[in-house]
Every structure is written in structure tokens, then in C-alpha cells.
Chain A
Amino acid sequence: MFYRENGQFKTGYGADQQMLPILQDRMLMAALLAFAFVGVPYLISDYLFLAILIPFLILTVAAIGLNLLVGYCGQISLGHAAFMSVGAYAAYNLALRIPQLNFLVVLLLAGLIAAAVGMIFGIPSLRIKGLYLAVATLAAQFFMDWLFARVKWFTNYASSGSVSTAPIEMFGWRIDTPVHKYLFLLGVLVVCTLAAKNLVRSHVGRAWMATRDMDVAAEVIGIRPVYAKLTAFAVSSFYVGVAGALWGFVHLGSWEPLAFNLSLSLNLLFMIIIGGMGSLLGSYFGAAFIVALPILLNQIPLRLGIPLSTAMAAHLESMIFGALIVFFLIVEPRGLARLWAIAKEKLRIWPFPH
């Protein structure tokens, strides 16, 4: 009844190419952004910020990055946590060795370094795809795990192999309380989402999608697969590298080499499967789901008075994850984002049946 586009006419190319063509969508988005930037900091406790919102925001950036590669370009990666670690260690070393650099510059450079590494490991994708590529990206995972654990220069010769960072400060803004961290991350996420959205609507994104849908046919109509695949790897690794730097600096503060291991890679993949492949909104849903599920699994039995041991909770979590992955792949391969789209479609004709 309230959500329909009747009477909204497009009178120029600008209106035709809008990101959100329906007025109600724009209003909803504006309200959501206003709430996220102004409302949330007053409403939510520090615990919720640290346990849920901050990991959620960072992992969303990473999930968007992986989604650009897997969902939009169709190249599977089981090693994206490796590129997160590249971003994190690049940022650590830049901040350590060139202290006068602004953190934003550090973040960008870390992303660029991750992008370069991602492109190197993306080279096999030019010859192989699917299952073989999965193994090639696993090679990235294991090699990076080893590299950062063993080469002392990266960890600044720390004897334990773990590194720690100072609180971020930029333009006189010291980001050390949960609320400030949240606002900073929200800003980064909004910029990242906007950039990704515009990228996938442009010729670059269309080349990716053509490659995903049928690589041979894409080549026939004049898309260079080398260019499409390597840009996808580069952009994806850039996002994931930025997310890795944020994960290290803002969320963890100090971390060990195994902070970015295979299970993080797989979790990123699960986010986009559950959230929806080839959908930016899906990255949000997936990240929220994966962050919230373990906490819910811990809290619900506690509230119900059934104490679960930590090991038991971990096993249950693993079982539920596994079952959900299979469930989503069978029932709704396009994930939660698809459910959201169906709900919107229903809302348009509500309260009428047709």
C-alpha cells in the first residue's frame, strides 16, 4: 500500500541511472543511515558494540570483497583470510615504520598491497577454474599463514610472533572508545559499499558477471577474461585487505599469526552463501548472521537454563553452520538477500493478492 512506484516518472538519464529509483527506498535508506550514525550510538551498550557491531561492520567489508570475486565474477576462493592477513600486516608495518602516515593512507596502501598479492595468486585463475582454483587459493592461505608466522621482519622481530597496535589517531581524532570505533567503521563501510555498488553497475562489473555466467561466451563478445578475472581478484583483495587492516587495528588491537586462518576464510565464504551470492545486501545479511549466530547459540541455552559446555556449543555451532549451508544451497541458492527481495515484491501488492 505504501511501497509502490506509481506516479514516479523518470524524466532524465540521471533519474534512470539512480541507485535507488523508488522514492520510498531512498527515504528508507536515508532514515537507516541517520539512525545508524546518530541513533545507534545513544542506544546501544559498549558490550554490544564490541561483541557484535564492530565485528559485523568489518566482516561486512570483507564479505563484500569476497562477494565481488565469488558472487559477481564467479571465481571461487577458499583463501581470502590470507589476503586479510596481508592487509593487516601491511598496515602494521606501514604504521610502525612510517609513523607520520595518516591512518587513512595506511589503510589505502594496505589495501593496495593486498590487491597486488591477490593478483599474483589470481594468475592461476586464467588457466583453471572451479575446483582447481579452490585449491590454488588454499595454497595462498597456507603460504601466507606460514610467511607471517616465520619471517620475523613482518612481526618486527617479536619473540612471541604476535603484534600489537596503538590506538588509531587521525586528523586529531583519537579512535579508542567503542562508539568512536563504530562511527569510523560505519563511515568506511558506507564508502566501500557505495564504491562496490557503482563498480558492479559499470562496465567492469558487467564484464565480471559475463565471465561468471559463461566465460567462453564472454570472450566471444569481446570481454578480455584476463582483464576481468585479474581486476576481480585485485578489487576483491583490496576490500579484504582493508577489512584485514581494520580487523587487526580496530577489532583485535593485537593478534597472533593464526588470527587469519582457514576457518576465517571458510566463514567468509559461508557469509556470502547464506547472505546471497552476487548481492551486496546479501553480504550485510550474511555477515550479520555469522556474527550473531555463535552469540545466540551461547545465550539461548543460558537463558533457558540449559548449561552447555564451550566444546559442546562449538560443535553445535559447527553442525548448525553445516546444515544451514546445505539448506541454503538447496532451498534458496541466492540466500537471505533473495528472501528480502521476495518480501519487497509481496509488499508492493499488499494488501491485494495480485
Chain B
Amino acid sequence: MPRQLPVISLILVLVVGLFAPLATGAADPGFWFEVLLGGLMAGVLYSLVALGFALIYKASGVFNFAQGAMVLFAALSVARMAEKMPLWVAVILGLVIMVGIAFAIERLVLRPLVNQEPVALLMATLGVTYFLDGFGQTLWGSDIYEIDLGIAKKPVMILDSVFQGGILVNKDDVAAAIVAALLVGALALFFQKTATGRALRAVADDHQAAQSIGIPLNHIWVIVWSVAGFVALVAGMIWGAKLGVQFSLSQVALKALPVVILGGFTSVTGAVVGGLIIGVGEKMAELFLGPVLVKAFDLAGGGIENWFAYVLALLFLLVRPEGLFGEKHIDRV
């Protein structure tokens, strides 16, 4: 199919780019493999945040810019409460807080804005972002806090029989990957097998039709924002344990935006696959493409991972606006 040609060629370029450092001998296989794994781990974490985006977009058509602020808020709550009580109590309380926030957002922001155009809703979530960022830091403080999940951070050596020197893997990264996989599985079950999940899918398909067969829209929105809050909590704890709980956590959401573009807004699978692609692409670009660019253009340092994901998403937008797994959208007059 000639229409698919640009997409296929873009994917081909990416695959070639992935193996280029190996083929040209710019990296030894062990190091390359380590970068690949590191990228996959980072990708899992991006996926976690992107999952929150996709869930809310699917069920309410809102592009939730505030997902990052929710991650920060959840992580801050858990980190500060865990100083006074056992971690599991703090997590449960954090969950209660996130559900409360979901209620408040539905009641105060979404309900009055129902039927507005998507861009107005996007700007409303921008407002929510600012509010939550400010509120979280006023309430819990704005220093760097720690979450101790009780997983040793000591790196482990694996595969040292295959590669020279072996490969270093962080235990907490592996734990994060397992948690993310479990979360995706649980969400898939929830969406496919439960009555609530079925209602959520119905709302996602068609708001009006869902309402006409008696699905209460407002409840569904509270549920879906609560689920997104839960995902934010998990993402916040994992990121927080890795990087420390601080304001920059809120910026992680900005990394997750290209992920949802790449994967398609409406697709949970897309969020995961997109996250992995962006995670790997970013790390590979930073480590192997960066030095080439620095040398060629005499730059003051690399740092191309700041925009690589965005430019990749932009290219995808040009050739396939609906993303890898998104639904195609056709306008009719």
C-alpha cells in the first residue's frame, strides 16, 4: 500500500538507527545492550505516565495536561506521609487523596465545562496543572524527599558469560518494569472483564449513546480520573524512588506527551509501545547520535534527549496523525 510507505520508511529508519552503532562498531555489544536495557526501563516509566493520559483521553476526550502534576502530588503526599507512618498506610491514604482530587476535578472543572471544545478543556487542565503544582508544594513542602520502597539499589551483573564484562542492571528498574507490566495487565482485565470497565469503554465509544442506555457519565468520569490518579500514584512512587520526589517530577509528563502521540491517544497498547520506543530512541540518540552531532556542528554539549522524543513525535504526526495504534478520524461536513 503506497499510503503506508512513509510510515514504513520512518520505522525502517528507526530500526536502522537502532542497530547502526553496533554495525559501525561505534559501541561494543555489551555497552549497546546496556543502553538498550536502560532505554527500555526508562520507556516503561514513560509508559506509566502515558497510560494515565490515554485512560482519561479514552473515556472523556480530555487531554489531561495535569497528569504530571498528579504524579508529583501523589508522590509528594506519599513521601511526606511515609515519614510519619508505615509506607503501606501512606500509600492507601495517598490513594484516598487521589480519589478526592478526581472527585474535585470532575465536580469543579469538568462538569461546568461539559460540551466545550477540546482545546478549552486542554487549557483547563493546564490551569489544574498550575494549581496542583502550587497546592502540592504549599501543602507538603518543596524540598527533595525520598521514598524508600525497600528495594535494594545495588546493580546486578547479568549475562557476563555472553558479553565481556557483563551487563549492569538495577534491581529497582526491574521491579519498576514488573510493576508496570502488572499494572497494564490489571488495567486490561479491568477494562475487558468488569461491568465498570465495559461502561468505561461504552463512554469512550460514544458519550451520548452511553448516556442514553443509562450509564451515568459523571460517575464514569470520577472513576476514570481516580484510575488515572492511581496510575499517577504508582508512577510517582517509582519515579520518586528513582529520582527523589521533587518538582521536576511534574516535568516527566512533558516526556510522556510525545509517547501518547506516537502510540495514539486512545490506545493503552500504544502508550506502552510508544513509551518503549521513545525510551530506547532517546537513550540511543543521546549516547550515539549526540556525539556525532556535537562533532559535526561543534555544539556545546549534547542534550538532544530533551527534544528527540518531540521531533520523533512530530515526524510521526506528519506521516500518520493518528499514531501507531490510534483510531483513524475522519471529518465530515
Contact = CB atoms under 8 A, between A and B. Distances in A.
Contacts of B132: 322
Given A146-B303, A312-B138, A330-B112, A322 B127 contact: yes
A106 to B, nearest CB: 25
Interface string B272-316: 000000000000000000000000011111111011001101100
A23 interface: no
B123 A142 contact: no
Interface string B121-133: 0111011111111
Interface in A106-128: 123-124, 127-128
A212 B127 CA distance: 23
B63 to A, nearest CB: 4
Contacts of A317: 134
Given A131-B118, A318-B134, A319-B138, A326 B108 contact: yes
Interface stretch (A133-141, A165-173, A178-186): A133-141
Contacts of B119: 74, 76, 130-131, 134
Nearest to B62: A131
B134 A139 contact: no
A322 B307 contact: no
Given A135-B310, A216-B333, A324-B127, A124 B317 contact: yes
A315 interface: yes
Contacts of B63: 131, 134
Interface in B100-130: 108-109, 112-113, 116-120, 122-124, 126-130
Find the residue from B122, B123, B257, B318 having the highest chain A CB count within 10 A: B123
A311 B131 contact: no
Given A135-B258, A322-B134, A326-B108, A142 B118 contact: no
A94 interface: no
A347 interface: no
Given A135-B261, A142-B306, A318-B131, A329 B120 contact: yes
A324 B127 CA distance: 8
Contacts, number: 144
A145 B307 CA distance: 9
A139 to B, nearest CB: 4
Contacts of B298: 152
Nearest to B319: A127
Contact of A326 (B127, B299, B318, B321): B127
A161 B137 CA distance: 31
Contact of B126 (A150, A216, A269): A269
A37 interface: no
B304 A311 contact: no
B317 A329 contact: no
A134 B122 contact: yes
Contacts of A138: 254, 257, 310
Contact of B310 (A139, A216, A323): A139
Interface residues of B, number: 51
A173 B157 CA distance: 70
A274 to B, nearest CB: 10
Given A152-B300, A266-B126, A316-B138, A128 B120 contact: no
Contacts of A325: 123-124, 126-127, 130
B122 A139 contact: no
Find the residue from B128, B129, B134 having the highest chain A CB count within 10 A: B134
A217 interface: yes
A76 B122 contact: yes
A145 B129 CA distance: 22
A329 B124 contact: yes
A321 B130 contact: yes
A281 interface: no
B282 to A, nearest CB: 12
A333 interface: yes
B265 interface: yes
Given A127-B317, A329-B120, A143 B134 contact: no
A132 B120 CA distance: 14
Nearest to B311: A139
A266 B69 CA distance: 15
A142 B127 CA distance: 21
Contacts of A1: none
A143 B310 contact: yes
Nearest to A314: B134
Contact of A319 (B126, B130, B306, B317): B130
Interface in B111-165: 112-113, 116-120, 122-124, 126-135, 137-138, 142
Interface string A323-339: 11110011001000000
Contact of A142 (B126, B128, B310, B318): B310
Nearest to B61: A131
A324 B109 CA distance: 12
Interface of B: 63, 108-109, 112-113, 116-120, 122-124, 126-135, 137-138, 142, 254, 257-258, 261, 265, 297-304, 306-307, 310-311, 313-314, 317-318, 321, 331-333
21 contacts: A130-B118, A130-B122, A131-B265, A139-B258, A139-B314, A143-B311, A145-B307, A146-B303, A146-B304, A150-B302, A150-B303, A262-B254, A318-B134, A320-B134, A321-B127, A322-B128, A325-B126, A326-B108, A326-B128, A329-B113, A330-B124
Interface of A: 74, 76, 123-124, 127-128, 130-132, 134-136, 138-139, 142-143, 145-146, 149-152, 161, 216-217, 220, 262, 266, 269, 273, 311-312, 314-326, 329-330, 333
